[in-house]
Amino acid sequence: MVGPASNSVQPRILAFSHPRELDVLRQPGFVRGRAVLLLRFPGVDPETLQRWQRALNARFNACGCATGAALSIAGLLTCVIAQAWLGGWGVSHWGGFALRTVVGVLLGAALGKAIGIQAARWDLRRVTHSIQKSAGVTETGGL
């Protein structure tokens, strides 16, 4: 019998029954991490709920890896271009080039990951606000 590995971590499931409950996702101290967000709003058609769920889950579970990878490649290219322009490719320059390249790639990856996570948080705030607005939730409370 094939099943999940015994040490695999199952994602949390967070269910929301009212659009106003989405406010918790925008709070700075809310614990993020691997989770599945489910929307169960009465009176909203299932197709719309699924579209909203996909948008929320993509942003909530974003880890910044794509941005980190892009900026690490940018760091690598920057180091190669700088070496070609400033230092030359002689054997005596290889050690410095290797060090600068490793540092450039790691800094690019870390910066990209941080930027990607923050961009996802801002986009999550925008999407939750848009969903609440579409569902008829006003700033003063009611539906």
23-39 residue pLDDT tens: 998 887 777 778 899 99
3-state class (DSSP) for residue 133: helix
Distance CA 10, CA 135 (A): 30
pLDDT for 139 equals 55
Task: Indicate whether 57 pLDDT > 60.
Answer: yes
Per domain, the residue ranges of the chain are: 12-134
Beta bridge partners of 39: 16
The residue with tokens 């940018």 is 74
What pTM was estimated for this model as a whole? 0.76
Q: How far is CA 107 from CA 51, 80, 100, in A?
A: 36, 15, 10
What average pLDDT does range 5-21 have in this prediction?
A: 79
